[in-house]
Structure 1
Amino acid sequence: MRRSEFAELADHVFGPTLSRTYTHDLVLEEIDGLTAAQALERGVAVRAVWTALCDAMDVPETSRWEIPAAQRRR
């Protein structure tokens, strides 16, 4: 998973405004009490950060990985 995919999925799952808020402000215990942005800067695997963010926000597994083709960025 690339950082661009992380950003696209976060925007899709949470909406553009909340995805930025959650990424920069939400402390994720699963990744040593870092925010997603801090974890990514420190080199934590993007997939691990995405999973921790989804777990923290109770995003169902079925909603985590797929963006419908009509809604994908081009």
Structure 2
Amino acid sequence: MQLSEFRLAVAEEFGTARGKALVREMNLGAVGGLTAEEALAAGWSASQVWSALCRENDVPLERWHGRGRPDPR
């Protein structure tokens, strides 16, 4: 997952405003208690951070994969 795909996935799943707030403010246990923003800056992969964000927000597993990817043409 690319960073741009991560950002799109967050917006698709949580909405733009709420997604931005979650990325900045929610501490995620799966990435050492960092926020998503901090984890990305610390070198965690976008896919690891996306999985952590999904887990912490009880996103159904079937929506974890494929989010943020452009529609195939």
Shift of 1:63: 1.7
Q: How many residues are aligned here?
A: 70
Aligned twin of 1:57: 57
Question: Where in structure 2 are the equivalents of 1:1-74 lying within 5 Å?
Answer: 1-67=1-67
Tell me how large the CA RMSD over aligned residues is: 1.8
Q: Gaps (5+ residues) in structure 1?
A: none
Runs of 4+ in 1 over 2 A off after TM superposition: 64-67
TM-score (norm 2): 0.87
Cα deviation for residue 66 of structure 1 reads: 3.4
Structure 2 stretches lacking a partner, 5+ long: none
Percent identity, aligned pairs only, is 32
TM-score w.r.t. the length of structure 1 is: 0.86
Deviation of 1:61 after TM superposition, in Å, equals: 1.3
Deviation string 1:7-41 (CA, Å, 9 cap, x unpaired) is: 00000000001100000000001110100000000
Instruction: Specify the code of the residue in structure 1 equivalent to 2:49.
Output: V
